[in-house]
Structure 1
Amino acid sequence: MSAIVSAPYATALCLSVFFYFIIYPIVVYFRDAKGLRRYPNMHPLSSISSIPFMIVAHGGARSTYLSKLHQKHAVIRTSPNTLSYGDLRAIKDIYGHNTACTKDTSYVLTAGSHYHLADVVDKHDHARKRKLLSSAYAIKNLEHWEHKVADKTARLIVHLDKCCTSPFPLGTIPNPGDVNVDYRAWTNFFTLDAIADIGLSEKLGFLDQGNDRVTGRRIDGTTYQCNFRDCLYQNARKQSLLVWPYQWYPFINKISNVIPFYGRMGSFARDWEGIPLELAHRRLERYRRGEKLDDFFQALMEDKGGNPNNLEWGEIVAEVSIMMNAGSATTAIAMTNVLYQLLKNPTMMTKLVEELDGALEDDDDEDDGGDGVVSYDKVKHLPYLRACLDESLRLFPPTPHGLPRETPPGGINILGDYIPGGVSVAISAFVAHRNEVQFPQADKYIPERWLGEQGKALQPYFLAFSAGARGCIGRNISYLEQTVVLASVLRRYGFALSRPDWEIERLETMNWLLGEMPVKVWRRERSTVSSCRGDG
C-alpha cells in the first residue's frame, strides 16, 4: 500500500526536478530578460547552465581555455548570468576607480561569519576597512618591514647554503642527487614566515624547521596540528570547483563532502579555519599583556592616535585570515615563476645577473651583515630586475581567474554596450595579458617590453594586482619581498633545473596551484655571470 501511495510523490518529484533543471532554464533562455543571448556561448549549454563552466574548472586550466576563445570573441557568455571579457578596454569599465560595479555573489558565498578586506561587497564598508589598514600597507612604511623580510631571506639563505653542490660544466645535466631543493616549497615557507612576522609579529619558524606544520584552534579552545599549505590551497581549490552555480553552492558544498575527492578538500578547509583563529588568539594575548608591536594587528586594534577601533572579534580574525592567505600565496607563486622563467631563458638570466653585479660591489655582502641579503635600497630601482618581475607576473599572474563583478541595479555600459543590472562580469588577468595587440608575442617571456616609455604605456593593462579601488593593498610588500629574495639568491647562487625540457605543473584554482620545482643550487663565482643558467 505504501508503495502505491509513494508512487505519485516520486513522479511529482521527478517532474519537479525535470521542470526546474531542464524546462525552466530553457524558458529563461528564450525569454532572455537581460538580453545576454546576443553574446556567443562558451559552450552550447552555457546559456542555460553553469555546469559547462564547472567542468572547465575541473580541468585546472579555466583561464587558458577562455584565452583561446577570446582570440575570436571579445565577450563570451560563460553561464546564464555571467559574461567574460577579452577586450582590454573593458578593464576600466569593470574595475576602474569610478565603476559602479561591485563584487558579485561569489564573495558573499565564500565569506566566513565576517567579511574581510578582499571579500567585503559594500563599498562604504570597504572604504572603512581600507582606511583602517592603508597606513600600515603604505609604501612609506616599507622601511618598517624590510628588516623582517631581510631576516627571513637570511634564513632562506642558510638552507640554500646547506644544499649547495659543485658547479657543473655547461651543456650537461645535473646529477639527480644534486637537484635537492624544492624552490616552490621554500619560497612559500619564506612568504608565510614573512607575512606572519609583518602582520602579527609571529615567528612561525617554517624556514628553520623545513616544513609548514602549524597549530590550529577549534571554537571550544582545543588545538590540533595540520599542514598550513595543504589547508589553505585545498580550501581554495574546492571553492574554485563548486562555487559557480551561485544559488546552489551552499547545498553542493555540503553534500559534496560525501564524495572522497571533495571530502578530503572539505576536511582541509575545516582545518584552515582554525589556523588564523589560533594566530589571532596568540597575538591578542600579547596585546592584552601590553605589548605595543609594530605590525598590522596593532593597526586593527588601534588607530594611529592609540584610540581603540573596537572591531568585532570575528572581523579581526577575518582580516588575519586574508592576510595570511593573500599575503603569502600570490607572492610565493610569483617567486617561483620568476626563477622558473629565468632558468628557461638563460639570456635574460645573464642580463639580470650582470645588472645586479654592476649595481652591487664585492663588499656589499659585508655591508649588509655578511649574511648574503641584498639591501632593498640598492636594487629597488634596477630597471631590468623590475622588468623581469613584471614580465613573469604578466605571463603567469598568480591570480589568473577573472575577478567577478556585478553590474549595478540600473545597469552599466561596458565596451559601449548596455549590460542590465545583476549580471556578473569579469576579465581574467591571464586573458588580458595574452592580448596580442598590447602584448605582442604574448606567450613569450620578454622582460624588455616593460622598459622605458613602452613599459609605462602597458601599465593600464597590467592586472596582476587587479585594478581600481579594489586593487591589491599589499602589492608594495609583495614587490619588496620578491625584489630582495630574487636579488639575494641570484647574487649568491647559480641554479639549474633537472633537465632543459622540465616543465612545472600548474593547476588553476582562484590562484595557480603549483607543483614542486626541484633545482640544483651552487655558490656562483662573481666574475662569471653564466653560472646562473637554465640549460640543464
Structure 2
Amino acid sequence: MALLLTLILTLILFIKPLVTYLTTKTLTKYYPPLNPLSNHTTLSYIYEHRHRFRTQRLYNKHLHHNHRIIRLSPTSLSIADPKAIPAIYGHGTPCVKDDVYALTKGTHTHFNMLNTISRDDHSRKRRMLANAFSTKNLQQWEYKIADKVERLLGKLDGMCIPPPSSSSSSSSSSSSSNALINGDGDEVDMRYWLNLFTVDAIADIGLSVKLGLLDKGSDEVVVDGEVVRYIECLHRGNRVSSWVIGASGWIGLLRGVSCVVSPYLREQWECGRRFGRVVRGLVDQRLGVQESGEKLSDFLGLDAGSDTTAIALTNVMYYLIKNPPSLEKLREEVSGALLGEEVAPYAKVRNLPYLKACLEESLRLSPPVSRGLERKTPPEGMYILGERIPGNVTVSVPTYAIHRDPEIFPDPEAFWPERWLEDDEKVKQMRAVFIPFSSGARACIGRNITFIEQQILVSTLVHRYEFELPSKGWMLEWEEAFNLWPGRMPVRIWRRDGYVIH
C-alpha cells in the first residue's frame, strides 16, 4: 500500500508535471507565472486556493509587477488589458468556452446554458429563454418580487431597534455564532436575510414554488422527506468544487482522495450532491413527472440566480452604509420618486440615474464573479494584444482586475457612483470594460432580473430604514469560490423619521 501511494504521488507531483512542462514550454518563455507551480501543473490552482481571495492576489500581480499577461498554469493565461475583452469574449471571437465548464455538469448527461461548450447548443438554449428573460416579460413577475420584499420588511421591522440617541456610540459591537442576530438581539445579519430573499424570489419566479424561507427565517427546505440547508449546501458544494475545478486532469482523482483522507471534505462533496437533489426535487414537485434533462437548466437559475443577486445586494448595501454621503444622495432621489409606497414600484425606480450608478459602482468594485471566465483559443491559435497565443490555450480577463484599471477608473478603490454620471464619452469608455455579467454572446442572460430585484429592494430599504455597522472601521470580508461571497454583515437597523412600526 505504501509503495502504491508513493508511485501515485510520484506520478502526480513529478512525472505528469514534467511532461506537461516539456510539451507546453513555449508559453513559459513569454509569460511570468502566478506562483511557483504555474509553469508546471494545473495543481497551481489548488496552491492558490489557500488564499481566500485568489483574484485579488492575481490583481496585485498584474498591477504591482506591471504584467499584462500572467501564466496561471501550463496552458492557461490571465490577460488584464481592456483590448483583450472583445478578442476573447466578443461576438466575433474564435474562442470557445473552456473545457472546465463541461466538468461542472458532474454526472448529468445534459448541459445547461452555462456549461455547454457548443455554440449551436448555447444559441438554441438562449433563444428558448431570451424572451422570458427580457425586461418587458420579467416585469409581469414584479408582484412576486414585491411579495418577497413585503415579507422581508415584516421580519426586519421586528428586529428594528429604537432610534439611537445622538450621544450613543457607533463603535460598539458584539459577536455571536447565531446566523441571524447577536446575543443582544440588536444586530441583523443582512447578508443572510438578503440571501433568503433572493432564494424565495427566484424559486417563485422560476418554478412558482413557495419555499417560505423568509417566513421561517431559515434556509431549511424539505425535499422527499429530507431536511436540507439550502444556502449552506450550495456554498459548501461550490467551495469544495472550486478547490479542484481548475486542476483539469486531476479532478476525479482529487475528489476521490479527498473523500478518503478528509471527513470534512467528504461532507462538503455530499452537501453539493444534496443541493442537486433539492433542485431536482423542486422541479419535480412542479412538473409532477421526470422530464428530459432540459429541466436541469433550473439548477442554473436556483444556483446562480439566487447566489449572485444576494452577493450584489449585500455588497451595494455595504458600500452605501460605509459611504453616508452616497446613501443620503440616493435617499433624496428615491424619496422624490416615491409617494408613501411601502414597496418601491419598479416603474418609479427603474430610471433613477443615481440608483443605477450605485448598483453599477458596487458591481464594479465587487463583481459577484471576480475571476476571469475561461475561454479556449482555436486549434490554429490566435492573436491577442498583438501576440500570437497557441491553440487550445485557456485565456481569460480577470473581472476584478480590469474593473480597477486606473486609466479608465481613476481612484479605482473608491466607491464613487458619480463616475457613472459623467460625460457620455467617459461612460462609454467605462462600459466597454464593465463585465460583471461577462460580454458578447455568452453574457449572463439573468442580468435583467437581478437589476429589477436590486432596484426594487435597495430603493425600499434605504427609504424605510437607517443602518449602522458594528463600528466605524468595520470592514466586510470576502471569500472566493466560484463566486466572490461577502461574509456575515451584522447591522443595527431602525425606522427612519416619519415611519411607525406597526
Whether the TM-score (by the shorter chain) exceeds 0.5 is: yes
CA RMSD of aligned residues (A): 2.1
Report the counterpart of residue 365 of structure 2 in structure 1. 395
Please state if 1:470 is matched with 2:470. Answer: no
Give the alignment of 1:524-535 within 5 angstroms: 524-525=496-497
Report the counterpart of residue 518 of structure 1 in structure 2. 490
The correspondence for 2:276, drawn from 251, 273, 278, is 273
**AA at the equivalent of 2:494:** W
From the superposition, tell whether residues 19 and 251 of structure 1 become closer, same or farther in structure 2 (CA, over 3 Å): closer
Report the counterpart of residue 193 of structure 1 in structure 2. 200
Report the counterpart of residue 395 of structure 2 in structure 1. 425
**AA at the equivalent of 1:42:** L
Deviations 1:341-392 (A, max 9, x none): 111111111111111112223xx32xxxxxx101011111111111111101
**AA at the equivalent of 2:370:** P
| Cα separation, 1, equivalents of 2:150 and 2:219 | 18
Give the alignment of 1:336-375 within 5 angstroms: 336-361=314-339, 364-365=340-341, 372-375=342-345
Report the counterpart of residue 256 of structure 2 in structure 1. 254
From the superposition, tell whether residues 330 and 24 of structure 1 become closer, same or farther in structure 2 (CA, over 3 Å): closer
From the superposition, tell whether residues 344 and 31 of structure 1 become closer, same or farther in structure 2 (CA, over 3 Å): same
From the superposition, tell whether residues 42 and 252 of structure 1 become closer, same or farther in structure 2 (CA, over 3 Å): same
| Cα separation, 1, equivalents of 2:139 and 2:24 | 55
Report the counterpart of residue 244 of structure 2 in structure 1. 242
SS of match in other structure, 1:461: coil
Contact 2:344–2:460, Cα closer than 8 Å, also in 1: yes
Report the counterpart of residue 56 of structure 2 in structure 1. 64
Please state if 1:207 is matched with 2:178. Answer: no
From the superposition, tell whether residues 158 and 55 of structure 1 become closer, same or farther in structure 2 (CA, over 3 Å): same
| Cα separation, 1, equivalents of 2:163 and 2:385 | 54
Consecutive unaligned residues of structure 2, counting only runs of 5 or more, are: 175-183
Please state if 1:108 is matched with 2:102. Answer: yes
| Cα separation, 2, equivalents of 1:17 and 1:522 | 58
| Cα separation, 1, equivalents of 2:85 and 2:498 | 44
| Cα separation, 1, equivalents of 2:300 and 2:244 | 20
Please state if 1:157 is matched with 2:164. Answer: no
The structural deviation recorded for 1:25 is 3.2
The correspondence for 1:120, drawn from 113, 116, 123, is 116
Contact 1:109–1:250, Cα closer than 8 Å, also in 2: no
| Cα separation, 2, equivalents of 1:261 and 1:470 | 35
The structural deviation recorded for 1:24 is 5.1
The structural deviation recorded for 1:106 is 1.1
The correspondence for 2:223, drawn from 216, 224, 230, is 216
Contact 1:216–1:271, Cα closer than 8 Å, also in 2: no
Deviations 1:467-506 (A, max 9, x none): 1111110100000000100000111111111111112221
The structural deviation recorded for 1:270 is 1.7
The structural deviation recorded for 1:312 is 5.5
Contact 1:46–1:80, Cα closer than 8 Å, also in 2: yes
Please state if 1:445 is matched with 2:410. Answer: no
Contact 2:186–2:492, Cα closer than 8 Å, also in 1: yes
SS of match in other structure, 1:153: helix
SS of match in other structure, 1:136: coil
Please state if 1:41 is matched with 2:13. Answer: no
Pick which of 326-335 and 248-257 moved more.
248-257
Report the counterpart of residue 80 of structure 1 in structure 2. 74
The structural deviation recorded for 1:31 is 5.1
Contact 2:478–2:487, Cα closer than 8 Å, also in 1: yes
| Cα separation, 2, equivalents of 1:471 and 1:51 | 29
Matched residues, number: 481
Deviations 1:265-323 (A, max 9, x none): 112112111011101101102xx7xxxxxxxxxxxxxxxxxxxxxx952221x211111
The correspondence for 2:21, drawn from 18, 29, 37, is 29
Report the counterpart of residue 298 of structure 2 in structure 1. 320
The structural deviation recorded for 1:526 is 5.2
Deviations 1:496-530 (A, max 9, x none): 11111112221100112332211111110259xxx
Please state if 1:284 is matched with 2:277. Answer: no
**AA at the equivalent of 1:267:** E
The structural deviation recorded for 1:23 is 4.7
| Cα separation, 1, equivalents of 2:8 and 2:486 | 43
From the superposition, tell whether residues 19 and 252 of structure 1 become closer, same or farther in structure 2 (CA, over 3 Å): closer
Contact 1:91–1:461, Cα closer than 8 Å, also in 2: yes
Report the counterpart of residue 148 of structure 1 in structure 2. 144
| Cα separation, 1, equivalents of 2:11 and 2:228 | 45
* Rg larger for: 1
Contact 2:173–2:471, Cα closer than 8 Å, also in 1: no
The structural deviation recorded for 1:110 is 1.6
From the superposition, tell whether residues 20 and 330 of structure 1 become closer, same or farther in structure 2 (CA, over 3 Å): closer
| Cα separation, 1, equivalents of 2:24 and 2:86 | 27
SS of match in other structure, 1:129: helix
Deviations 1:192-251 (A, max 9, x none): 01001110111000011110111235xxxxx41110001111111111111222011112
* TM-score (norm: length of structure 1): 0.86
Contact 1:215–1:278, Cα closer than 8 Å, also in 2: no
Contact 1:108–1:121, Cα closer than 8 Å, also in 2: yes
Please state if 1:379 is matched with 2:349. Answer: yes
Consecutive unaligned residues of structure 1, counting only runs of 5 or more, are: 1-5, 218-222, 289-310, 366-371, 528-536
From the superposition, tell whether residues 154 and 20 of structure 1 become closer, same or farther in structure 2 (CA, over 3 Å): closer
| Cα separation, 1, equivalents of 2:44 and 2:173 | 45
| Cα separation, 2, equivalents of 1:459 and 1:52 | 32
SS of match in other structure, 2:132: helix
The structural deviation recorded for 1:260 is 2.5
The structural deviation recorded for 1:458 is 1.0
**AA at the equivalent of 1:165:** I
| Cα separation, 2, equivalents of 1:170 and 1:418 | 63
| Cα separation, 1, equivalents of 2:312 and 2:155 | 20
Contact 1:116–1:322, Cα closer than 8 Å, also in 2: yes
From the superposition, tell whether residues 35 and 377 of structure 1 become closer, same or farther in structure 2 (CA, over 3 Å): same
**AA at the equivalent of 1:341:** Y
